[in-house]
Amino acid sequence: MKKGLQFLVIVFSFFLIGCSTGRFANYITSDRDKLRDGEEEFRFVSYNIPNLHYIEDDLNFTRQNPWRLPTEYEIRDALTSIKQMGGKVARMYVLSVRKSGESKNIIRHVLAPGVFNEEAFKTLDEVLQIANETGIRVIIPFVDNWWWVGGPKEYADFRGKKKEEFWTDPQLISDFKETIRFLVNRKNTFTGVLYKEDKAILGWETGNEIVAPHSWTNNIAAFIKSLDKRHLVIYGTNIRILSDEALNDTCLDVLTTHHYGQTDQSIWEILKNKELTRGKKPYYVGEFGLAPMPLIKKIVDTVIASNITGIMIWSLRFHNNDGGFYMHAENTGSGPYRWPGFASGKMYDEKNIINFMREKAFEIDGKKMPPIEKPEPPELFDIKNVYAISWRGSTGAYAYKIERKEESTDNWKIIADSISDADKYYSALFIDSTAELRKNYYYRIRAFNSAGISEYSNIAGPVRVNFNAIIDELEDSSKFFMKGGSLEFLTYQDIYKAKEDHNRLKGKDNAYIIYKIPYNIDSIKVQIFFTGDLCPIEMFASYSLPSTTDTISSFQLLTPKMETFPPYKNHYGFYTPAIYTCEEFPENSRFLKILFKGEAQLSRVEIIYNKINILSK
């Protein structure tokens, strides 16, 4: 190789290496009561993304463990959403800690004192790699004050001590410092950059909503600074009015508070904190939300007008790698925010709040909000049958157009003009109820939003239609032939216990529903949540309805198989999901009856009929 060409190759290689380490020119620094990115003031309106590095909402019906690590696609969707909304920062949740007596199948970051799960930390590596690529800074809190993912109690349990000792016991403090040391000194397996040298990290937060003596906070903050001279140390407190100790602690660079509840009181507290920090330290609102639009507007406008550094709403959830979005309903009835906002979030004014937050993300920098971007093409999954069609969604897409063609033609037809991937959670996104038996079809889709429509997805198919089906998601009674007794359709009631299933039918003892099927039943599958005792339903089939008002006598009792999926021990109080299946019926059965023998909640009913031999033409 000639020397000149060799020199160019070396220079280009260094350029690529430099690009791979990030697009940030500066660490974020503090300057009295301001944050700075170089010489520019750094202010932000953005979101908490609790699932960014560790998912707590993997709530597929049969999955017993809700914890898992996000995929590269999911992390990128989350941070790209922040970027498209004008945000500069994302705050993740804390490092998880192994709980005493829990299943080892639950993935955690900290397994024992000084023992760490490499797989979990590689996912955090990927978060930082993508943060550098998308230009979004991240805030990393070390430990939770609460019990959700493990914290002081779990560190204490490792040593047979009490939770309260976490704040004062030298051994427990040393154990926690080992976690901090491991993370701050870690080398990213994707970029090769040490965490303490990664400009994508805005700062280290001592914890999430910590309630601790200040001696502990000062000790931990000083230790972080001894390891990392570049990144900011953020005070992760649960107090709403900042203390003199925090204001005067030279080891704390940035102060932050969380505010929920009565809005006028929150605004008074926020303004008080701004006054306390004036000329001393940067201050931002680390969490707020779970409130109607007018109250959210009032708080955000106060933050911007008062020259407070920033504010972050709770919380953003992103696309699921298996289709749709992750969900996490809050006790207030508010759901999570999903970019760009959807009709299914109308109950908590999702779309208006999302649009408002985006406008304010630019306003805080004195900029006009730009148009949104046209979405990239979605990825259509392999389709096993026409009653279960799903895809990997496009960041910023509001809805999708679905097209179909028969195998023997080139004529594509739109069969669904505007299908959202935010209406169904943890199940198939679309059912093609117009597909004809014995035909083979191909499918493709496009994403769209107000900016335009994407290119086409990949093509899936051919998909042969080997049966007809009635799929009842139990949104209403439109698919019932008859019903009786105490029945109630549920949406947000007990939503988290029912794994975010927004359409369920609650029945009490002796209530029933009856389906009429056009042809003989081949098989059934019924998903149910047990809210108490197991086996609270019975199923019957008949070739005709009885002429009498007694709707039981002419039905024959079925003997379905039942499989339960008891959830792992958790703090959410999940109901036990179960699936009933049956493939043997009385001759010519065209009516199916489901009878409640106690209280339970039906989640989904699938009835297959007209099934043909898969090899028939």
SS3 letters across 291-360: CCHHHHHHHHHHHHHCCCCEEEEECECCECCCCCECCCCCCCCCCCECCCCCHHHHHHCHHHHHHHHHHH
Q: Which residues contact 87 (CB under 8 A, 6 or more apart)?
A: 44, 45, 46, 47, 136, 361
Of 219, 267, 259, 252, residue with least CA distance to 238: 259
Q: Is 50 helix (H, G, I), strand (E, B) or coil?
A: coil
The phi and psi torsions of 371 (rounded to 5 degrees) equal -65, 155
600 sits in which H/E element: strand 600-609
- Residue found by looking up tokens 């043909």 in the block: 612
Mean pLDDT of 535-557: 77
Average model confidence (pLDDT) for the chain?
Answer: 93
Q: How confident is the model at residue 8 (pLDDT cuts 50, 70, 90)?
A: very low
Q: How confident is the model at residue 547 (pLDDT cuts 50, 70, 90)?
A: low
The pLDDT, as a whole number, for residue 167 is 98
In this prediction, residue 553 carries a pLDDT of 58
Is pLDDT above 90 for 330? no
Per DSSP, the three-state class of 394 is coil
Q: What mean pLDDT comes out for the span 167-173?
A: 98
Query: Cα separation of 236 and 258, whole Å?
Result: 9
Residue 562 has pLDDT above 60, yes or no: yes
Inform me whether the pLDDT recorded for 156 exceeds 50. Answer: yes
| DSSP single-letter state for residue 167 | G
pLDDT at 160 over 50: yes
327-341, 440-454, 602-616 — most confident range: 440-454
How far is CA 342 from each of CA 9, 57, 339, 354, rounded to the nearest angstrom? 49, 19, 8, 10
Enter the tokens of residue 342: 């959807």
pLDDT band (50, 70, 90) for residue 22: low
Q: What is the pLDDT of residues 579-613, one digit of tens each?
A: 999 999 999 999 999 999 999 999 999 999 999 86
What pLDDT, on the 0 to 100 scale, is given for residue 496? 86
Based on its alpha-carbon atoms, the radius of gyration of the chain, rounded to whole angstroms, reads 27
**Position 271 confidence tier, pLDDT thresholds 50, 70, 90:** very high
Report d(CA 85, CA 349) in Å as an integer.
17
Q: Are 448 and 398 in contact (CB under 8 A)?
A: yes
Q: Looking at residues 338-367, what average pLDDT do you find?
A: 97
Does residue 615 carry a pLDDT above 50? no
Cα 407 to Cα 546: distance, rounded to the nearest angstrom: 44
Confidence of residue 9 (pLDDT cuts 50, 70, 90): very low
pLDDT band for 1, please (50, 70, 90 cuts).
very low
pLDDT at 533: 83
Confirm if 65 and 106 have CB atoms less than 8 A apart: yes
* pLDDT at position 540 over 80: yes
CA nearest 193: which of 369, 18, 425, 403?
18
The residue written with tokens 């490499």 in the block is: 118
Alpha helices, DSSP H, located in 257-321: 263-277, 293-305
Euclidean distance between CA atoms 52 and 74, whole angstroms: 8
Strand order in the sheet with 512-516: 482-484, 512-516, 591-596, 537-542, 556-557
Return the pLDDT at 554: 80
Can you give the pTM of this predicted structure? 0.94
pLDDT level of residue 569 (50, 70, 90 thresholds):
confident
Contact in structure between 522 and 610 (CB atoms under 8 Å): yes
